Chain A
């Protein structure tokens, strides 16, 4: 079915989420990112429980941002203590504090010499077969760890806080677009932010799990991986640009995904949302995006 695009791929920025949509289901990419079609069905069940969990995840990210910005730990702990209902959040916070106190392989991260950049964004341009396409990412925490005798050079860490309920396997994480996009972008575009040249061999992506603080998933980066990711992402950008002209965005063959996609009714791929607990497929974001309450004030024109 041909559907004319509204926004063109080189008119907006791609990110790990949109690229994940594209590799999961090209139709979803078309509807969500090119047509920007609002389709507010339930994503997964139980809806209320999922919402609560996602809110807790969002608050955890915010809490860590506050802490990294210098809000005293005691104040943040006092605030959590005042809300007994936020059980998950409190547990994650305690796990985080414990990990900070006993960081094992990450001792340098919490030393005063480390430079921390919480909630920063980077962008760079992909080569879509001669046409530029923009790629962006927002990082939970970037850290520059000074060189040690052991490392011989500075280390650049990307910390990503994960509050998923079920543990995410290494192979699953390895296949996610985030695992490609984050270290690639830091290697490509980090120099101006960090004020030093970035060698991909210095970079490491760390998924830190709030439920399993002592078992982070670590993905060291390398020059070879950088070149491979660059090729892959450029090819993806080229493909996207070509497809948008052909308006060829087929539905996924893996119909299990549709149970967790809000467009299922538009694509005639089901009525009810799937149960999150039974999902074998990650449904996308594991926390809610920031709610933008900023508004244009107006009167009754």
Chain B
């Protein structure tokens, strides 16, 4: 174990006795997680079997430093450490002890196995139940996409479970805090009715969404001796990181668990609590401090340069004017200007040009590794992702984007697969257009460009829809068109057409099997679009196809039996759900993908929740109000449904203002504390949509920039 570079206070925490209960707090970048990782290795080094240690984090990505340390080959041999989230632990326990609690938990078929729902499949069932109610006038005053309605009802159930109040109180709590248009009260009433309906349906059909898994764990398994003893006996040493991002329910369980544990280390990040929209509660996490015999506070930032720290403190002072925070003199930091560089332009594209040029300069002239640079914005729309990615590519800088909620359905590969699926299943009666066919062929056939694809489609596309069987063969089209398309590409088209036509004449397969077969037997074969074979080529087609197949498979495993009973085609249902946006085909595996040597383009919260410091940050859309504002969520409310909200109190404009201010402060300071050397601001007079933007973050930076100007005058 290498402890040579650790600081004295870190070593003190790490080397605490093997029965110590430690509370460690400090701002981001002060070395808390490093101490946590080293404490874990120390415990193992001192003879604690890895299997007795549980590392609990609110989100799987936050366990990455622990998992990475455990992968290091020199780690002590023996049983393996468990890393988990409370949700994951709950699911495992429900699965293990299901036969013992299924009846008492109220499931209508206690002898049948449970079906665990993903976010997607929960949304599917929610849509299945709520769609008829929408036709009856439910939520008629709400103008948002249907899939967002469904996800907010699910979100309410999750909040009830992790905050710890009965789901039957959702509507009442939301109504009690409302003081605007009376129509909104009806919306909350409808939201409650839908949540109750969904819960009843789940209990009748052994379906377990996240909220039900957590509630069963809380109410039935944790009190059950067999389960509790299994957990307490298995995991005698707890390391809980980022407790401020975890839920009150997790904190409640920890409060009961800690007295039985032989040792514990709880790590609390000050000024954080980014996941409050998911039910996180920093306050209830902080109360666990009282259960720990040893308290350590790390206050020094080990990441940021003195200039960045000075900038952070200026920002902190602006956010907390009443607190009269003194700016500490940072050794070696005379000015903050080296840490902050505005890149100003009148128009948005010009600003992006500047950002790309500056990144290229950092990488090529200063030798900054690309992975040490991130470009952040409150959102990452496809247009921004594309336009900045293209500019960086032109500059020869590798870039990758990460937007975890980017649905698979937005990917061209997915469009291609679903279009070909519709061709292969004429009985679904979901015709595709000539245009969709052309795009699918561009993806499918290596070397086929859009112009030739359109010529091909004009010639082969059937007049009346009959699926793949209706497509003309390459031999049937005019010699002129054949010449222009080339016979080499024509033969590939023929192979694909014949495969689809042959399939369309046979009985329908499970949809994920169809996709696997299409991928393996045609699209990934030499000469086809998904067959990419060199070190430089993009192999994402396989990844995206695998993600889609997994999404379909989970859908089939949870909804397959029900659909089969109703005689509906699962594939058709899936494709329709994707088209309607109910199933986004979202996928999270890429979230944990290895770090590529590339500049990261990401939404600000995504970067924060990955908890990885970098040398340089570029913040775009600084004038946007989205840095501070909550998403428009008319069916839910993260503050009102939190444990800290007094039931019946009205949420007013002051609360909203205060919430925005706190959000902005947490976000801006959290980002800065993960910045080593410099922050670049992408400022344009007109935003991406062509409008002037004057959001609160811009106002903060205007004050900081005035300070820089004063510094410059002072010389």
Asked if A277 is an interface residue, CB under 8 A from chain B, the answer is no
The one of B80, B97, B98, B516 that contacts A42, using a Cβ cutoff of 8 Å: B516
Q: Which of the segments A189-197, A227-235, A249-257 contacts the partner chain?
A: A189-197
| Of A65, A66, A132, A265, most B-chain CB atoms within 10 Å | A265
B60 with A271: CB separation less than 8 A: no
| A261, chain B: closest CB distance, angstroms | 11
A38 with B79: CB separation less than 8 A: no
Q: Which of the segments A115-123, A211-219, A278-286 contacts the partner chain?
A: A115-123
Give the chain A neighbours of B427 by CB distance below 8 A.
none
How large, as a class, is the contact surface on chain A?
A: 35 or more
Asked if A101 is an interface residue, CB under 8 A from chain B, the answer is no
A191 with B78: CB separation less than 8 A: yes
Q: Give Cα A34–Cα B111 distance, bound, in whole angstroms.
A: 43
A134 with B78: CB separation less than 8 A: no
Interface size in chain B (residues, C-beta < 8 A) = 77
B112 with A79: CB separation less than 8 A: yes
The one of A4, A7, A12 that contacts B535, using a Cβ cutoff of 8 Å: A4
| Of A4, A12, A131, A192, most B-chain CB atoms within 10 Å | A192
* Contact (A134, B75) CB under 8 Å given A79-B99, A300-B631, A301-B380: yes
| Of B51, B80, B100, most A-chain CB atoms within 10 Å | B80
Asked if B59 is an interface residue, CB under 8 A from chain A, the answer is yes
Residues from 22 to 52 in A contacting B, C-beta threshold 8 Å: 35-42, 47-48
Q: Which residue of A lies closest to B117 (CB)?
A: A293
Asked if B447 is an interface residue, CB under 8 A from chain A, the answer is no
Asked if B555 is an interface residue, CB under 8 A from chain A, the answer is no
Asked if B338 is an interface residue, CB under 8 A from chain A, the answer is no
* Contact (A71, B80) CB under 8 Å given A264-B520, A300-B148, A301-B603: no
Asked if B576 is an interface residue, CB under 8 A from chain A, the answer is no
* Contact (A121, B87) CB under 8 Å given A4-B535, A39-B546, A296-B591: no
A48 with B51: CB separation less than 8 A: no
B78 with A189: CB separation less than 8 A: yes
Asked if B461 is an interface residue, CB under 8 A from chain A, the answer is no
B100 with A71: CB separation less than 8 A: yes
Q: Which residue of A lies closest to B147 (CB)?
A: A300
Q: Give Cα A13–Cα B73 distance, bound, in whole angstroms.
A: 8
Asked if B395 is an interface residue, CB under 8 A from chain A, the answer is no
Asked if B88 is an interface residue, CB under 8 A from chain A, the answer is yes
The one of B119, B510, B543, B606 that contacts A297, using a Cβ cutoff of 8 Å: B119
The one of A1, A41, A191 that contacts B520, using a Cβ cutoff of 8 Å: A41
Give the chain A neighbours of B60 by CB distance below 8 A.
294, 296
A125 with B545: CB separation less than 8 A: no
A189 with B549: CB separation less than 8 A: no
A40 with B549: CB separation less than 8 A: yes
Asked if A299 is an interface residue, CB under 8 A from chain B, the answer is yes
Q: Give Cα A189–Cα B118 distance, bound, in whole angstroms.
A: 36
Residues from 53 to 108 in A contacting B, C-beta threshold 8 Å: 59, 62, 65-66, 69-72, 75-76, 78-79, 81-83
Mask, B602-614, CB within 8 Å of A = 1, is: 0101100000000
Q: Which 10 A-B pairs have the closest CB atoms?
A: A41-B520, A132-B73, A38-B546, A192-B78, A82-B111, A124-B77, A301-B603, A189-B77, A75-B99, A294-B88
Given contacts A40-B520, A122-B78, 11 further A-B contacts (CB under 8 A): A1-B533, A41-B520, A69-B96, A72-B100, A82-B109, A132-B73, A192-B47, A264-B520, A265-B521, A268-B525, A299-B631
**CB-defined A-B contacts under 8 Å, sample of 10:** A40-B519, A59-B113, A66-B96, A72-B100, A120-B79, A131-B73, A189-B77, A192-B78, A300-B405, A301-B380
Give B contacts to A, CB under 8 Å.
47, 49-51, 59-61, 71-80, 85, 87-88, 91, 95-100, 109, 111-113, 116, 118-119, 148, 151, 158, 210, 226, 230, 277-278, 379-380, 403-405, 509-510, 513, 515-517, 519-521, 524-526, 531, 533, 535, 539, 542-543, 545-547, 549, 554, 588, 591, 594, 603, 605-606, 631
